[in-house]
Amino acid sequence: MTKIKSLADLRKMKDEVQSQIKLRENSDHPEQVVQVKIGMATCGIASGAKDTMKYFVEELEQQAIDAVVTQTGCMGYCYAEPTVEITLPGKAPVVFGDVNKNKAQEIIDSYVKRGELIDGVIPVTFKTIDD
């Protein structure tokens, strides 16, 4: 592919891949999407939450798992950052602590794909991350 530099290049690229994307989106089932929220406050960022987020985005894409990865605020578990909240379709959210790349891989392999819990779950009385 040629180098993308201007908005026009980006538009051209979008037009080229649009049909492929449409096809993919039509086969989506919104209720099947895995939700991943990465705690992205000072504590999280300082412990590498940005790399964790990048890893989740790339790895889930690589494995063709339908997922939405977003940022969220601090939950007060600064000692366990980066923290990640995962909501599997139809299940209650689960928060994992100390999620570096290795842990992220483990979470995807065990929890996201097979629904098996692993060490490092933060057991709490919280409802969801958002305040």
Partner 1 sequence: MKTISEHVLDIIQNSIRAKATLIEVIVEESEKNDFYSLIITDNGCGMGKEVVEKSTDPFFTSRNTRKVGLGLSLLKQNAERANGYFTIQSEENNGTVVKAGFQHSNFDRPPLGEIWDVWYFTVASHNNLKLNYRHSTDKGSYEIRSEEIRELLEGVSLNQKEIRVGILEMFKNNLEEIGTTF
Query: Which of 50, 65, 87, 121 touches partner 1 (CB under 8 A)?
Result: 50
Nearest 5°: the CA angle 26, 93, 73 is 95
Q: What binding mask, one character per residue, do residues 83-112 give for partner 1 by CB under 8 A, x or -?
A: ------------------------------
Separation between Cα atoms, residue 104 and residue 111, nearest integer Å: 10
Q: Binding to partner 1 by residue 122, rule CB under 8 A?
A: no
Residue 36's DSSP bridge partners are: 69, 86
H or E segment at 50?
Answer: helix 49-62
**Residues 26 and 66: beta-carbon distance below 8 Å:** no
Work out how close the CB of 116 gets to partner 1 at its nearest, in angstroms, rounded to a whole number: 27
Using CB under 8 A, which of the segments 62-70, 84-92, 105-113, 115-123 binds partner 1?
A: 62-70
Query: Which of 32, 46, 89, 117 touches partner 1 (CB under 8 A)?
Result: 46
Single out the residue of 48, 44, 39, 97 nearest to residue 73, CA to CA.
39
Q: Binding to partner 1 by residue 31, rule CB under 8 A?
A: no
Rg of the chain (C-alpha set): 17
Structure token pair of residue 40: 């992205």
Work out how close the CB of 125 gets to partner 1 at its nearest, in angstroms, rounded to a whole number: 13
For binding to partner 1 (CB under 8 A), which residues are involved?
Answer: 3-7, 9-11, 13-14, 17-18, 20-21, 24-25, 40-43, 45-46, 50, 53-54, 57, 61, 68-71, 73-76, 78
